[in-house]
Chains A and B, each alone.
Chain A
Amino acid sequence: MTLGVLLFMHLPMGIILLYAFTTDESTFVFPPPGLTTDWFRVAVGRADVWRALGLSMRVAGVSTLVAIFLGTLAAAAVYRTKFFGREAISFALILPIALPGIVSGIALRSAIGILNVPFSFWTIVIGHATFCMVVVYNNVLARFRRTGSSQIEASMDLGANPFQTFRHIVLPAIATALLAGGILAFALSFDEIVVTTFTAGQEQTLPIWMFSQLTKPRARPVTNVVAVFVVAITTIPILLANRLTERTIE
């Protein structure tokens, strides 16, 4: 049973990989009539794929930076100080990923509509940063709780100013947590489709490009290659982030 569930969860990804090499142009005939690496060449030559990839990279990069900044501040605030409604912060931060994506999506879309803001790169980033924040927040807060604050107090007692303390004590302590949180945030943003659909306007991120291929398939084999690429670019960082947080536990 366990094995069955495990296969059920992971075989479909193997199938995508296989179909990226099939010679069959509709790419669902099984077994594949033949294998080829041609589609990778075709995909590399597609300007629309490159454009979407570039936009996704920039969106994920900027959203991750915003999320790292805001998430770390929130984690530090919750860890360092006691204030009214402290528990509510965690709850508020998790809402964007706990509520159905469509709620966040249409909520942002409504705000864009009411304020008459034009769709742009930044409307996408704002949406993404909002749900990426919680990932950084969770990682950094867990790290703060594990390292404690005695080193920070010692540093301050020894005459370092808060900026020096941050630079030499806090930053090294949370560096891997920041990296892990940032990587997860990047993967989350790179992959996001539901919220993006409502905040992107005419812009096409890679998931939106894929979704348009899903509903109106024109270039199946190229879509498969892009799919394999998306899996790689989100899976590898997540494995890496897992390693980063795992090693520091021991």
Chain B
Amino acid sequence: MTASGLRQETHRPLLHRLGTFIYLRPWLVLALLLGPPLLWMVVIYLGSVASLVVQSFYSLDPFTGQVIREFTLATYRELFVPAHLEIFLRTALMAAAVTIATAILAFPFAYFMARFASRRAKAVLYLAVLLPLWSSYLVRVYAWRLILAKQGILNWFLERLNLLGVLEAALRIPVIGGPSLSVSFLGMFIVFVYVWLPYMILPIQAALERVPQSLLEASGDLGARPRRTLRHVTLPLAFPGVLAGSIFTFSLTLGDFVVPYSLGNSSYFIGQAVLAFTGTAFNIPLAAAFTVVPMVIMGFYLVGARELGAFEAL
């Protein structure tokens, strides 16, 4: 740089010089850009998750109701009470059932979107899936309470179709039945499928879009009927998408408390139990230990899903 250039540099306003000073030092740019969000995530989010784990090793004094801040495994031992094990099993079974049902419903829809819909129709369908995924989760659960109520719209339609007997028979089934759909595991199952369906459709659709047309044509040319092509070419290639979707449906069902609260009975699900422990019992240690269970289940699930190739479809 010449002498006149240097002089000019010093005449520039301080702000400018500061800006240039920073710009020429990549590490400083990085620190300034990344610092605040990273600090936020590490201190607040990861810090909170760490405190969750710490809390789970504390315990509650049964007499005073105060949290004893000493390391103990007593709270974890409480998880193995039969009543609690039942909650875990119930929630996991529901999550599995919901995952399978959403996959069955989502696949044809995603298949239609990826294979048959025109560009315009695809854009509309995409929005139709995206909208319920983003908005009004609570309202959508609430809507179903009205729909499934004993004098509600569903019963009205079933009555007109003379199918009320079928519903009553279904509600008489022990465990999944109940006095009405709005207070039964069956109703809960329907609502779970409804609220998580978009999370399953999108990854499957993305996976199907990536199946090369040439493979399907090759399969057809080699004499496979459409059924066989679907079974041996499309399905295996779309499977990672199904797995990716199942991560969402499974995880969301495990941790939800709104649906069980709205449509359930006194048989708790994990989310409900956690809410009850924090809200009424102030037993944060037990709530924390309870939450560790879905985290561990999801950990295993994610490892398994990665082995099967789900992450390539995300």
Give the B-binding residues of A (Cβ under 8 A): 1-2, 5-6, 8-10, 12-13, 15-16, 19, 26-31, 69-71, 73-74, 76-77, 80-81, 83, 89, 92-93, 95-96, 98-104, 106-111, 113-114, 126, 129-130, 133, 137, 156, 161-163, 184, 187-188, 191, 193-194, 197-198, 207, 210-211, 214-215, 223, 227, 230-231, 234-235, 238-239, 242
Residues of A within 8 A of B295 (CB): 99, 103
Q: How far is the CB of A218 from chain B (nearest CB, A)?
A: 14
Q: How far is the CA of A30 from the CA of B130 in the complex (A)?
A: 29
Residues of A within 8 A of B47 (CB): 111
Is A214 a contact of B142 with CB atoms below 8 Å? yes
Is B136 a contact of A235 with CB atoms below 8 Å? yes
Is B164 part of the contact surface with A, judged by Cβ < 8 Å?
no
Is B278 a contact of A106 with CB atoms below 8 Å? yes
Is B194 a contact of A231 with CB atoms below 8 Å? no
Is B67 a contact of A227 with CB atoms below 8 Å? no
Is A114 a contact of B54 with CB atoms below 8 Å? yes
Do A15 and B135 contact each other (CB < 8 Å), given the known contacts A109-B278, A161-B16, A162-B22?
A: no
Residues of A within 8 A of B40 (CB): 70, 129-130, 133
Is A110 a contact of B109 with CB atoms below 8 Å? no
Is B49 a contact of A15 with CB atoms below 8 Å? no
Q: How far is the CB of A198 from chain B (nearest CB, A)?
A: 7
Question: Contacting chain A: which of B29-37, B78-86, B223-231?
Answer: B29-37
Is B44 a contact of A103 with CB atoms below 8 Å? no
Is B15 part of the contact surface with A, judged by Cβ < 8 Å?
yes
Question: Contacting chain A: which of B167-175, B211-219, B235-243, B251-259?
Answer: B251-259
Chosen A-B contacts, 27 in total, with CB atoms closer than 8 Å, are: A5-B197, A9-B194, A12-B143, A19-B146, A28-B145, A28-B147, A28-B151, A28-B153, A73-B36, A74-B33, A77-B30, A81-B30, A93-B37, A102-B270, A102-B291, A103-B295, A107-B45, A107-B48, A111-B47, A111-B48, A111-B51, A133-B37, A162-B22, A198-B278, A211-B258, A230-B139, A234-B134
Interface-central residue, B132, B143, B252, B288, by most chain A CB under 10 Å: B143
Question: Does more than half of chain B's interface fall in helix, strand or loop, or is it mixed?
Answer: helix
Task: Tell me the B112-163 residues at the A interface (CB within 8 Å).
Answer: 112-113, 125, 127-132, 134-147, 149, 151-153, 155-156
Is B41 part of the contact surface with A, judged by Cβ < 8 Å?
yes
Is B194 a contact of A8 with CB atoms below 8 Å? yes
Do A235 and B44 contact each other (CB < 8 Å), given the known contacts A30-B152, A81-B30, A242-B127?
A: no
Question: Does more than half of chain A's interface fall in helix, strand or loop, or is it mixed?
Answer: helix
Is B258 a contact of A81 with CB atoms below 8 Å? no
For B40, the closest partner residue in chain A by CB is: A70
Residues of A within 8 A of B274 (CB): 102, 106
Do A81 and B134 contact each other (CB < 8 Å), given the known contacts A76-B33, A109-B284, A214-B261?
A: no
Is B135 a contact of A162 with CB atoms below 8 Å? no
Residues of B within 8 A of A99 (CB): 251, 255, 295, 298
Q: How far is the CA of A38 from the CA of B113 in the complex (A)?
A: 42
Q: How far is the CA of A53 from the CA of B138 in the complex (A)?
A: 15
Is B72 part of the contact surface with A, judged by Cβ < 8 Å?
no
Complex interface bits, B15-29 against A, C-beta within 8 A gives 1, otherwise 0: 110011011001001
Q: How many CB-defined contacts (below 8 Å) exist between A and B? A: 252
Partner of A80, one of B33, B46, B256, B279: B33
Is A235 a contact of B146 with CB atoms below 8 Å? no
Chain B, interface residues (CB within 8 Å), range: 35 or more
Residues of A within 8 A of B127 (CB): 239, 242
Q: How far is the CA of A111 from the CA of B239 in the complex (A)?
A: 39
Q: How far is the CA of A31 from the CA of B33 in the complex (A)?
A: 57
Is A162 a contact of B19 with CB atoms below 8 Å? yes
Partner of B55, one of A83, A95, A110, A235: A110
Is B271 part of the contact surface with A, judged by Cβ < 8 Å?
yes
Is A162 a contact of B143 with CB atoms below 8 Å? no
Is A29 a contact of B19 with CB atoms below 8 Å? no
Is A191 a contact of B135 with CB atoms below 8 Å? yes
Q: How far is the CA of A133 from the CA of B20 in the complex (A)?
A: 29
Q: How far is the CA of A163 from the CA of B14 in the complex (A)?
A: 12
Do A70 and B37 contact each other (CB < 8 Å), given the known contacts A103-B294, A198-B278?
A: yes
Q: How far is the CB of A93 from chain B (nearest CB, A)?
A: 7
Q: How far is the CA of A70 from the CA of B135 in the complex (A)?
A: 23
Is B143 a contact of A102 with CB atoms below 8 Å? no
Residues of A within 8 A of B298 (CB): 99-100
